[in-house]
Structure 1
Amino acid sequence: MFLKIGELARRTGLTVRALRHYDDIALLVPSERSSGGYRLYGRKDVARLYRIQALRRLDLPLADIQGLLDNPAGDMSEVVARQVAQLDREIMQASALRTHLLSVQGQLQASKEPEIDDWLLALENMVAGAKYFSDDEQRTLNTRRDGFTDAMAPERAELSTWLHSLVAAGASPESPQAQSLARRWIAMLLEEAGGDEGLLIKLYTMHWNEPSLHALTGVDRVGIRFISHAMAFARLQLYTPYCSADDMATLRQNYVAQTDAWPPLIAEVRQRMLAPAPTDGAAMRALAMRWQALSLAKVGGDATLHAKLQQAFRQDVALRVGSGIDEALATYVGQAVAHLNATSSS
C-alpha cells in the first residue's frame, strides 16, 4: 500500500511543503514514483517519518536527525546530553522570570500598578546576563540570589540613596564617607557573587556596559565610577604599612588615576585564562604589556615601589578583596609578565 504525498500530509498533520522539503534534502525520499511522477510513500517511509517527528520533538536540527537515522550506531547519549543542557538553560531562564513575576505580583497585591518598563528592564536584565555569564555561572548567581535579593533590598536601597546624595553633592571619592560606602557596596556584591572575584568583575563589566541595567539598578556609569574610585582610595590606605611616606605621596599622585583602565583589562585576562590561552602566546603577551604598563603607571614608574606593592598584594588578602584578582589570575598574569620580560631581555 502506498500513500500519495497529500494523503500522507493529511494523516500526519504535516504540510505537503514540509514533505517536499524532506525529499529535497534526502531526509525522507519516497520509495516509489507513479507513472505520472507523483511521490508514493510505503510502510518503511511512514515508519521513518514517525521517527523523524519523534526526534523533531527534541528540537534537533534536521541535519542531526538525518545523521542519526542513517547511522543507527550514532551516539544518542550526546543528543540526550544536548537536550538536557538546553532544558537546564530554559529552566534557569524560567526561574529568573518566575522571580520577576513574583515581584510584579507583590506590586499588584499592594495595589501598585507595575510600569511597562518594569517588565522590559527585567527581561533586558535576563538577556544581558546570558552575554556575560556561562550557564553554570548564571545558575550560581541565581542560587545565591534566591532569598538574598529580598534580604539585601533595604541595604541596597540605602546605599543607592547614599551614593546619589554624595554624587549630587559633588563629594570626593577620597572622602571617608565615599570610602565607607564603597567598602559596603563591594562587600554586598561579593556576597552576591559568593566571594568569587571572577564573578565580581563580570558583574562590574555587565553593569558598566548595559545601559538598561543603569535604569534597573538606579546606578549609572557616574555612580559606578564613583564607587570604583572610592574603593581605590580605600585600598590605597591599606598599603601604608608597606610603604614609606615618600612612597605614599607618589601613590596618591598616580594610583587612583589608573582605576578605570583596570576592570576591562582584568576581565580580558580572565577570559584568556579560562580559554585557556598559553601565558607565552601572542594574545597574552599583548595583555601582559598592558598589565605591566598600568602597574608601573600607578607607581609613577618607580620600579622599587612597584615591587613593594606586588609583594604586599601577594601577602595581604585584604588588598585582593574586591579587586577582581584572585590567586589563580595573579599567578597566570605573573607568568605572562615573566615570559614577556624574559623575551625582552634576551
Structure 2
Amino acid sequence: MGGDSRSDLELWRAARSGDDAAWAALARRWADLLWGCCRKVFDEAECAREFPALVRRLGAERAAMLSDWDGRSGFSTFLGLKAADGLAERITTLLAEDSRRGWTAFERFFADDLGRMVRRRLEGEDAEDILQELRLRLMADGGSPVRRYDGRGSFTGYVRRVAHNLMEDILRARDGRRREPDAIRKLGELERRTYHLVHIQGYRADQLPDLLSLPAAEAMAALDRAEAALGPRLVQPAPRMVPLTLVDGDGREWERPLPHWAPSPEEALSTAQEREELERACTALAAAMARLPALARQYLRLRFLEVPPLAPRHIAGRLGLPVDELYRRRKSWEALLLDELRAEGVEKFPLPPV
C-alpha cells in the first residue's frame, strides 16, 4: 500500500491542496489498480508508455479529475472509474493520431460494455452476429459515429448512447417486416408493450419485470394475454429437416439433418394481413375507378400502371391534350380518385409524385 501512513482521504485532501508528494503517494498505493486499468486497453509494451501518462493525467491541476470524491465511497472504486475516464480521453486523441492503435484500444476498452449491451437483448449466435455488426457500424466511414464526439460530456457515455442507437437500428433492420398484428393492436397498452419487447425487440420474457418495473407475476400475465390474443398463430412450426453431407479430414462422408425453418409467426401473420389489406385496396380501387369519367380513368391508368412510367408529355399526347392542360387537370382527377377510395373505406392510398 506504500510507505505513507495517511489515509486515502487525507492524501486526497493534500493532493487537492497542491501537494504533489501526496498525489505521488496515492499513485504508488494504487499503482496495481491503475496498471490493471491500463492493461485492459493496452498491451504490456504500450502500458509502459501509457501508464505514466495516465498517472500524470489523474494528478494534473491538483488532481482535478478526482475533485468530486466526497470520501463516503471507497477511493479504489472511485479511482478506477476516473482512470477509465482518463483512458477514454486518451483513446479520443489516439483515434486522431494513430487510427490503428486508437481502434485497437477502443475495441478493448468498450468490449465488455458492448457485449453486455447486446447480451441483455440476445443470446448465443444471434448475440455474436449483432455484436459483430455493431462493431462494424461503429467503425464505418472511418469511425465517423465515434469521431463526432465534440468533447461535451463523458466520451464513455457518448459511445454507449451511440452504440445503443446503432444496435436498435440493427435490430429493426433484422426484424424487417415484423409489425404489430391487428389482434395485438386491439389490446391494452401493457399487453402491447410486452408483445413488442419479447416478439419484436427480442428481449427475454424473464427480463420483462425489470424493463417494465412491474412484479414478475403481473408482467408475465400481460405477456400471456398478448400471446393468447394471437392464439395458435404464435406457435413456431416445426422445421422441415433436410440432409446435409459432411466430410471429415479423412474424406469420410456422413449425413446430418439440417433444419429448414418456415417463416416466423410474426412474418407469416404480417404477410397474411398485408395480403388481405392489398386485396381490399385493389377491390376498392376497381370500384372507385369504375365511377370516374372515362378521360380520368385513361389518365390514371397511363399515369400509374404503365411500365416503364410515361413522361407527362407522352401521357398528354395519348390523351390528345396539351401538356399544360394535363397539368391543370391531373390534380382534380387524382383528388377525385382519392375521394372515391375514401367512399370505399380506404383512407390512405398514397399516389406517387409526377
Does TM, normalized by the shorter one, top 0.5? no
Identify the structure with the greater helix proportion.
1
Larger RCO (CA under 8 A, 6+ residues apart): 1
TM-score computed with the length of structure 1 as normaliser = 0.27
Larger Rg: 2
TM-score computed with the length of structure 2 as normaliser = 0.27
